């Protein structure tokens, strides 16, 4: 069984191929992590190991914490059934009782682009939270998946492989089998999944450039991320290509090499090109557009079980089309941008 690397979004945690952050998404609103050495638990299942060592918490609740990405083994998320070798460091962020509600299904319309026995591609609208966390235990994409596909309850996070911020729209991968979940999260960790984002930014960026700058928690505001000194953050790499310029703004395509929390938003803002509408990172509201102008418009990867190339492109959402029109920027076509080489 594969461990599930911790990294998730444009990038960000809670979770499995979620982000390489120090804690699950929303951890700032949780109790401090409990830490255990597994040397006395060699051969034990992860859920049994924790249930025997955390007073007053049932194994069922431990399994829910694990499913929500609130447990890490050597910094990585793992399944409840993971057998400990005895050498690992285990961390658990105790979740409040309200977190149990996260596993209730909600009738949330899903725009499914593709589905087979192992894989689902979903088009996430802006405004939808992907994964339950403090303040959003219900009404998330995960709850919608539990309603639409009840069998997804047997997978971590109902099969969600990576995350998008609430106000970012676009394509997401969802595993439909445990084998596919393991392989997709491993592929994400190995950086063999092509994730490309369309953004509208302030200023006049160079035609092509790469930002290689570590990202960590902003020391002045724990709810924000920032470019930090290497010892205080994780390496983050974003490749940027300018597509068009007009009215002091530009459209760019961002290709993620890593997936840290708020990576695109932080990296572009650090270069003076904050996303339009992203006021949290210095962007301006233009033409009434009040969310970050960011859309996950292309996914390119090998199918987790068929081992054939899969490529998906998402049309620019209507609100971004309207923004582009107001700024005099042409609507880009993902078919005109060279694809990644899917390995």
Residues labelled catalytic: 165
Cβ proximity of 171 and 122 under 8 Å:
yes
If DSSP codes are grouped into helix, strand and coil, which group holds residue 147? helix
Cβ proximity of 257 and 192 under 8 Å:
no
β-strands 309-313, 294-302: how paired?
antiparallel
269 phi and psi angles, rounded to 5 deg: -60, -35
- Return d(Cα 197, Cα 175) in angstroms, integer: 21
Name 295's bridge partners: 169, 198
336 phi and psi angles, rounded to 5 deg: -85, -5
At CB < 8 A and 24+ separation, what contacts does 140-146 make?
Answer: 140/102, 140/106, 141/108, 141/110, 141/172, 142/102, 143/102, 143/104, 143/105, 143/106, 143/108, 144/105, 144/106, 144/107, 144/108, 144/109, 144/110, 145/110, 145/174, 146/103, 146/104, 146/105, 146/106
What token pair was written down for 51?
A: 């249930």
Q: How many other C-beta atoms lie within 10 A of the C-beta of residue 102?
A: 22
């Amino acid at each position: 069984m594969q461990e599930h690397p911790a990294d998730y979004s444009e990038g960000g945690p809670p979770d499995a191929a979620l982000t390489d952050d120090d804690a699950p998404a929303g951890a700032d609103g949780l109790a401090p992590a409990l830490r255990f050495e597994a040397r006395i638990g060699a051969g034990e299942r992860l859920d049994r190991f924790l249930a025997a060592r955390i007073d007053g918490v049932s194994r069922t609740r431990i399994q829910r914490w694990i499913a929500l990405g609130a447990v890490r083994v050597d910094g990585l998320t793992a399944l409840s059934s993971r057998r400990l070798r005895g050498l690992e460091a285990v961390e658990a962020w105790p979740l409040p009782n309200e977190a149990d509600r996260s596993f209730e299904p909600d009738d949330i319309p899903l725009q499914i682009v593709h589905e087979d026995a192992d894989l689902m591609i979903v088009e996430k609208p802006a405004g939808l939270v992907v994964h339950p966390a403090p303040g959003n235990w219900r009404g998330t994409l995960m709850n919608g998946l539990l309603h639409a596909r009840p069998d997804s309850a047997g997978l971590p996070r109902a099969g969600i492989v990576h995350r998008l911020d609430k106000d970012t729209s676009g394509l997401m991968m969802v595993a439909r089998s445990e084998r596919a979940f393991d392989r997709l999260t491993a592929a994400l960790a190995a950086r063999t999944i092509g994730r490309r984002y369309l953004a509208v930014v302030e200023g006049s960026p160079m035609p092509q450039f790469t930002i290689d700058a570590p990202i960590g928690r902003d020391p002045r505001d724990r709810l924000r991320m920032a470019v930090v000194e290497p010892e205080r953050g994780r390496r983050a790499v974003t490749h940027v290509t300018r597509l068009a310029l007009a009215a002091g703004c530009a459209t760019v395509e961002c290709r993620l090499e890593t997936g840290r929390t708020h990576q695109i938003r932080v990296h572009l803002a650090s270069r003076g090109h904050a996303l339009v509408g992203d006021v949290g990172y210095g962007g301006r509201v233009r033409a009434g557009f009040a969310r970050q102008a960011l859309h996950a418009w292309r996914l390119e990867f090998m199918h987790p079980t068929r081992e054939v190339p899969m490529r998906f492109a998402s049309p620019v959402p209507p609100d971004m089309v309207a923004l582009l029109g107001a700024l005099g920027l042409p609507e880009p076509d993902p078919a005109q941008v060279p694809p990644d080489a899917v390995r």
